[in-house]
A = this chain, B = another copy of it.
Amino acid sequence: MPASRADGRAVDELRPITITRGWSGQAEGSALIEFGQTRVLCTASFTEGVPRWMKGEGTGWVTAEYSMLPRATSTRSARESVKGKIGGRTHEISRLIGRSLRAVIDLKALGENTVVLDCDVLEADGGTRTASITGAYVALAEAIEWARGQKLIAANAQPLKDSVAAVSVGIIDGTPMLDLPYVEDVRAETDMNVVVTGAGDFVEVQGTAEGAPFRREELDALLDLALTGTAELAAIQRQTLTTSSEDAQ
């Protein structure tokens, strides 16, 4: 008997994915990404120059900041700016997004330029970190394209070595499932976030036993699902980026 999901999806099926390029008129690159009810606004800010400690080495820098609006969730959370400090979860996710994007960028080819990726969760229904990575890639690609147009990077430079996308997988009632919304996420015995390149190699694998420890076979099943999901996401990213941003709006 196949496991049934609240929203009727198959266990290896993604939620409806929408990526709107160029959502913000201010940033060099931007994308509003939706994984079902999860909505994240990703912007890429491209600036010439690098932090002082990197100057003169001829390489660029890519970093990321993640945040949630206070009412992205079903009950309101206090703002981190009001609390005066950033929580561990925010730090952890910001670092994960940054590492994931740096894995597909050739910092030498970027030249002495900096890209800051801001991922602000407007609505949260599970999978906000994986949606952020997937959307940030599109914003980054847009910003690179913009910089090439501005001649801030050489015409033949290829800073993007590959695409990158991420998805969550988990075991619920013993069944491995793809792309968990909030109601599934809180019930998952094991929860895993997997970041994969367009070529299908791993950038990050973060699996956590929330209830019982997990066995090697379970880990393998989750990785299989994740590779399926990220391959689909990579296809959507490619399609989004071949549409001009003017059409997309």
Contacts and interface: CB of A to CB of B under 8 A. Distances in A.
A223 interface: yes
Contacts of A192: 205
Report how many copies the assembly holds: 6
A103 B201 contact: no
A170 to B, nearest CB: 13
**A-side binding surface: helix, strand, loop or mixed?**
mixed
Nearest to A80: B81
Contacts of A209: 103, 201-204
Interface in A81-131: 81-92, 94-95, 99, 103, 116, 118, 120, 122-124
B82 A86 contact: yes
Interface in A170-220: 192, 196-197, 199, 201-209, 212-216, 219
Interface stretch (A24-32, A49-57, A241-249): A24-32
A88 B79 contact: no
Given A26-B74, A81-B80, A92-B88, A99 B223 contact: no
A88 B82 CA distance: 11
A86 B92 contact: no
A95 B92 CA distance: 10
Given A25-B123, A41-B122, A202 B223 contact: no
Interface stretch (A4-12, A64-72, A146-154, A231-239): A64-72
Pairs of residues from A and B, 9 with the lowest C-beta to C-beta distance, nearest first = A88-B91, A201-B213, A80-B81, A45-B76, A81-B81, A43-B71, A205-B207, A92-B92, A27-B71
